[in-house]
Structure 1
Amino acid sequence: MTSNQDLIATPTAFDLAAYLTDRQPRVEAALDASIRPAYPDTIYAAMRYSLLAGGKRLRPILCLASCEAVGGDPDLALPMACALEMIHTMSLIHDDLPAMDNDDYRRGKLTNHKVYGDDIAILAGDGLLAYAFEYIATQTQGVSADRVLKAIAHLARAVGANGLVGGQVVDLESEGKSDISIETLIYIHNHKTGALFQSSVVCGAILAGATTAEIEKLAKFAQNIGLAFQIIDDILDITATGAELGKTAGKDVEAQKATYPKLWGLAESRHQADKLVAEAKTILAEFGDRALPLQALADYITDRKN
């Protein structure tokens, strides 16, 4: 996991390293408390193994920052933030399976199926997905039921066939094909990656009582940074080492996947990611200083090394 000292300074006076020093431990503690060991021991151990394996925790932190951006108390969004990480973890467990990307390492550790077997890994992902929605419904306090329901509906859509699942399907169907268009590639990543980024930002705002106009702006911001995140991922798959990534490098090339560097080249891919982040930050202008954490996190998307 990238240390706070490794983060690139943003052009604002906002101290992202200090912000993450506060937010990351709060998220980690909340995640640890969210799922305790229980019977059957194996499934709870497998769920906790991947959920607590570290990582940048970008999605939960974006959720908390979005809640703040529209004047909400981030503590109200903490159960949602945990649920987002549970769902993200589910997607990683399933993505690493032999039937998908077939990877042995994630976040510098053996992948879930390498430790617990394919069967338990599938069930661990299923368990995390189901529990994520239960956790939002039962643990969110001080927020009206209509807001909680609206946020749950948004998140469910982001995970299903209209979001993450749909993007993954098109991604799998595109492997090994030489005629994948940039439009198809953008579709894949707006759904496979961008949908959960968007839900992270939008759900935090919904719980805080954001207006329809505010939600629309934040959704566009999140779509931009989600796509930028994936472009940088594609670049890092080529330019970074396995040790830096915490997972196997060069998997996209090996699987003959369509990627942004493959279609655009490295320089243009970097340019497009920077452009997306610049546009995203412009969208946040009307939120003022309350959006400084989101602004800084947008910069981090393109400055990160893993």
Structure 2
Amino acid sequence: MNNEGFVKKLNEKMTRLINKSTMVEQAMAYSLLSAGKRIRPVLIKLICEDMGVQEDLIWNPAMAVELFHTASLIHDDLPQIDDSPLRRGRPSCHVVFGNDMAILAGDGLMLMAFCVLNQTPADPVSKSMLFDLFSKSTYDVLIGEAMDVEFTGKEKDINDVIEMYRKKTGALFSFCFAIGAILMKKLEYLEKLINVGSTFGVWFQIVDDLKDVSGKDENVGKTTGRDKALGKPTVVNIMGIQEAKNFADNLYESVIVQLKSLSLNKVVDFLCALRE
């Protein structure tokens, strides 16, 4: 199945998760089923294909990651955090449904993520490992978001900011990169793939920061210029645009080298296309 077909089927499966009988479910569906790129689920698909995982084991982890990621975006956009009125090219959840319902919608998607992951048709040991790593990764996302809030308006060391990126963005990517090794019981690769995912997440966040500085709302799909307006200490603000680009390039090349060493060729091709 190509990536476009996978995303289409993923969206169909996620549509059936929420019945929309209540306002909070309508808010959940509004954000979940918006035109996201589904980068994390596609990464899971490609990593699992590269490692020989059977298709029926891929769907639940892929949906769980997208559910949690969407929930984190809802909360991130709230006036109390980033106060962003635009997400994925349309008004943010709180703009349409109100702050209170957006908070509950984010909570609902997070809880649903764990329910969906728990239904993965894997053997008990693999399922337990998936659940443990997902629990740790999502908690790290929370800590990273809290660090982001705490750091706002303050001068921070570059190492503090990078550690925040590893948790806020890298933790969920670490889970994505590790799924194939867990399901195929190739645990000798697990720690390396977790670290690769973390490094990729730092690269991904720096690229996002660069878009915030130089991108346009209609191209990026969300409100740009928020980092500077909110006084966030980012790699771009600390290093400057060119040095941040150089740093990001080095991280990217490191990720590619490590993925090639594991013969994760479909993933490499996808990341090369993602970078363009």
Q: Does 1:158 align with 2:137?
A: yes
Q: Which amino acid aligns with 1:47?
A: M
**AA paired with 1:145?**
P
Query: Which digits, 9 at most, give the CA deviation of each residue in 1:82-110, with x for residues without a partner?
Result: 01000001100000111111111101111
Q: Which residue of 1 aligns with 2:6?
A: 23
- How big is the shift at 1:217? 2.2
Letter in 1 for 2:8: P
Residue 159 of structure 1 contacts residue 196 of structure 1 at CA under 8 Å; is this kept in 2? yes
CA distance in 2, matches of 1:62, 1:152: 18
Q: 71-80 or 118-127, which moves further after superposition?
A: 71-80
Q: Which residue of 1 aligns with 2:20?
A: 37
Give the RMSD, CA atoms, in angstroms: 1.5
Confirm or deny that 1:88 pairs with 2:47: no
SS at match of 1:34: coil
Match of 2:101 in 1: 120
Q: Could you tell me how far apart the structure 1 residues matched to 2:223 and 2:211 are?
A: 11
Q: Which amino acid aligns with 1:292?
A: N
Unaligned runs of 5+ in 2: none
Counterpart check, 1:167 vs 2:150: no
Aligned to 1:184: 160
Q: Which residue of the partner structure matches residue 174 of structure 2? A: 198
C-alpha separation between the residues in 2 aligned to 1:91 and 1:272? 26
How much identity, in percent, do the aligned residues show? 32
Counterparts of 1:295 and 1:122, CA distance in 2? 36
Does the 8 Å CA contact 2:181/2:187 hold for their aligned counterparts?
no
1:274 counterpart = 2:240: no
Distance 2:239 2:97 in 1: 39
Matches within 5 A, 1:68-79: 68-79=49-60
TM-superposed CA distance for 1:300, in Å, is 4.0
Q: TM-score, normalised by structure 2?
A: 0.95
Q: CA deviation at 1:22?
A: 2.9
In structure 2, distance between residues paired with 1:204 and 1:110: 35
Report deviation, 1:155. 0.7
Query: In structure 1, what is the equivalent of residue 240 of structure 2?
Result: 265
| Counterparts of residues 108-147 of structure 1 (less than 5 Å) | 108-138=89-119, 140-141=120-121, 143-147=122-126
Q: Are the counterparts in 2 of residues 277 and 299 from structure 1 also a CA contact under 8 Å?
A: no
Q: Distance in 2 between matches of 1:74 and 1:103?
A: 37
> Does the CA contact (< 8 Å) of 2:162 and 2:235 recur in 1?
no
Contact 1:225 1:298 in 2 (8 A): no
**What is the TM-score when the length of structure 1 is the normalising length?**
0.86
Q: Which amino acid aligns with 1:299?
A: C
Could you tell me which residue of structure 2 aligns to residue 238 of structure 1? 213
Gaps of 5+ in 1: 1-17
Moved more, 44-53 or 67-76: 67-76
**2:198 aligned with 1:217, yes or no?**
no
CA distance in 2, matches of 1:19, 1:226: 24
Residue 26 of structure 1: how far off its partner (Å)? 2.3
CA contact (8 A) 1:193 1:226 kept: yes
Q: How does 1:280-299 map to 2 (within 5 A)?
A: 280-288=255-263, 291-299=264-272
Give yes or no for contact 2:67–2:113 (8 Å, CA) kept in 1: yes
Aligned residue pair count: 276
SS of the residue aligned with 2:175?
Answer: helix
Distance in 2 (alpha carbons) for counterparts of 1:238 and 1:28? 31
Farther off after superposition, 66-75 or 235-244? 66-75
